Amino acid sequence: MKPYDYARERYAAMGVDTEAAVERLAGIPVSLHCWQGDDVRGFEGGDELTGGIQSTGNYPGRAKTADELRSNLRKALALIPGRAKVNLHAIYGDVAGVERDAIEPKHFAAWADWAEENGLGLDFNPTLFSHAKSADGLTLTHPDKAIREFWIEHCKRSRKISEYFGRRLGQPSVMNLWIADGMKDIPADRLTPRARLADALDDIFSERISPEFHIDAVESKLFGIGLESYTVGSHEFYLGYAVKNGTALCLDSGHFHPTEVISNKISAVSLFVNKLLLHVSRPVRWDSDHVVVLDDELCAIAQEIIRHGLLGRVFIGLDYFDGSINRVAAWAIGARNMRKALLLALLEPYAELRGAESDFDFTKRLMLLEELKTMPWQAVWEEYCERNGAPPILASDMF
C-alpha cells in the first residue's frame, strides 16, 4: 500500500478528507517576500539598511540585480508547491537614480511582466527606510513638513504601483505600510508624532482605489534597533486606525512582546477588522526575523485561519531575512513550513474538536489534539508536493 493511501484511510477513520485538504491547500496563496534574496538592500544603488532592522550573515549569493533576484525567486518557487505571490518593496524596481517621490508603474513593469509569465500575484510596500530623508528616525511623523510631504508622496505613488499590479495580474495587490519612526530615548511628547501619523495616513489613503486591485494594510511594531524607547506606530495606534478607517491590519509575528503571540490576536481582530495581513516571521529574543520553522506558533496561526474560515480575509505573507544561510533555501524552507502548517490545520477534524469542547468533554479534546500530532500527515504532504510539481523532500543540491 502506498503511504498516501494508508494516510488517507487513517484520516478518513477520523472523519478527515485528505483529498479535500490537498486540493484546498494548493489554492491558498502565500506571498514570498523578495527581500530575503538580497538582505533588504534593493536596487537604488545604496547599500545601507537602516530603520532599526538588520540582516546579519555573509553567505555568498546575495542578489545584486533584479534579474538575478527574479531568477533566484524562480528557483525557490519551484520548490514551494501551491499558489504564490511575490512581495516587493519600492526599492526593488528599476529605480537606480529615481527618487522615491518619483516612482511610477513603469519602473515596475518588468516585475509585472515576469509575474504574469509565471502565473504569480504581486504585493507591494512603500520603502520608508534606508534613505537620507529617514536618517532622523522619523518619516511620516517628522516635525519638518517638507520631509513628511516627501514620504506622503512616496506612499501615494506606491499605491498607484500596487493598483497597477492588481490590474495587470487580475488579483488585488496588498500594500503594506510600515514605518520605523520612533526614538532611542524617552520622548517628551508621545502624542504629536502619533497625531501627525494619523494625518499623514488620512492623506495617503484619501484617494479611493478599488479593492479589486489594491488593499491598504498598516503594520505596527514594538521597537526597532536604536529606537527602543518609543515607536510611533504601535499596535494600539494601528488597530485603532484600521478599525476606524477600514484598512487591513498587518500582524507581524516578530513585533510583539516576547510572551505575546499573533495566533491569539487573529480571532479577536477578525471581529472588528475586515482584512488582515500576516507577516509570518520567527522572533528569536527580539524582532530578529529568523527563517520560519514548523513550531507550535506557526501551527496555531494556520489553525486560526482554517478553523474560523478566514482564508478570504487573511492574507499570508512571509517576512524574515537571514543572510547567514543559502537565501534560496531560506525562502523554500520557510514557505514550505507555512504550507505544512496550513496542511496540518486542514487535516484537523475541527467539527469534532469543537463538539467535544461544547460538550465540556475536555478529555476528548486533549486526546484528539495529541493523537493528531502523530497522524501520518507527512505522507499527505509528499502526495501534495508531487501533485503540485515540487520535490517532496528538499536536498542540498536543489539550491
Distance of CA 16 to the CA centre of its chain: 29
**Residue 297 or 319: which CB sits closer to ligand RNT?**
319
Active site residue 113: no
φ and ψ at residue 299, rounded to 5 degrees: -65, -40
Q: Which residues, 12 to 41, sit near Zn ion by CB under 5 A?
A: none
Q: Cα–Cα distance between 2 and 263 in angstroms, integer?
A: 35
Closest CA to 252 of 310, 186, 320: 320
Active site residue 221: yes
- Which x/- pattern over 250-279 shows residues binding ligand RNT (rule: CB under 6 A)? --x--------------------------x
* Active-site choice (44, 289, 297, 383): 289
Which of 39, 44, 216, 319 contacts Zn ion by CB under 5 A?
319
Q: How many CB atoms lie within 10 A of CB 114?
A: 18
Least spacing, CB of residue 127 vs ligand RNT, in Å: 8
Active site residue 279: yes
Residue 318 pairs in a beta bridge with 280
Residue 252 contacts Zn ion per CB under 5 A? yes
Active site residue 252: yes
Q: What is the DSSP string of 271-304?
A: TT-S-EEEEE-EEESEEEEEPP-S-HHHHHHHHH
Q: How many residues bind Zn ion (CB under 5 A)?
A: 3
Least spacing, CB of residue 37 vs ligand RNT, in Å: 12
Which of 32, 40, 175, 345 contacts ligand RNT by CB under 6 A?
40
Active site residue 17: no
Residue 87 pairs in a beta bridge with 33, 123
Q: Cα–Cα distance between 350 and 14 in angstroms, integer?
A: 11
Which of 44, 287, 297, 348 contacts ligand RNT by CB under 6 A?
287
Active site residue 202: no
**Residue 321 or 384: which CB sits closer to ligand RNT?**
321
* C-alpha atoms less than 13 angstroms from C-alpha of 165 in its C-beta half-sphere: 33
* Active-site choice (85, 89, 131, 279): 279
Q: Cα–Cα distance between 260 and 221 in angstroms, integer?
A: 13
Active site residue 255: yes
Q: Cα–Cα distance between 264 and 249 in angstroms, integer?
A: 15
Q: Which stretch binds Zn ion (CB under 5 A): 206-214, 269-277, 317-325, 329-337?
A: 317-325
**Residue 284 or 367: which CB sits closer to ligand RNT?**
284
Contact 119, 83 (CB under 8 A): no
All cell numbers assigned to 134: 529617514
Residue 44 contacts ligand RNT per CB under 6 A? no
Q: Which residues bind to ligand RNT, rule: CB under 6 A?
A: 35, 40, 53, 125, 178, 219, 221, 252, 279, 287, 319
Q: Which residues bind to Zn ion, rule: CB under 5 A?
A: 252, 279, 319
What residues act catalytically?
A: 178, 219, 221, 252, 255, 279, 287, 289, 319
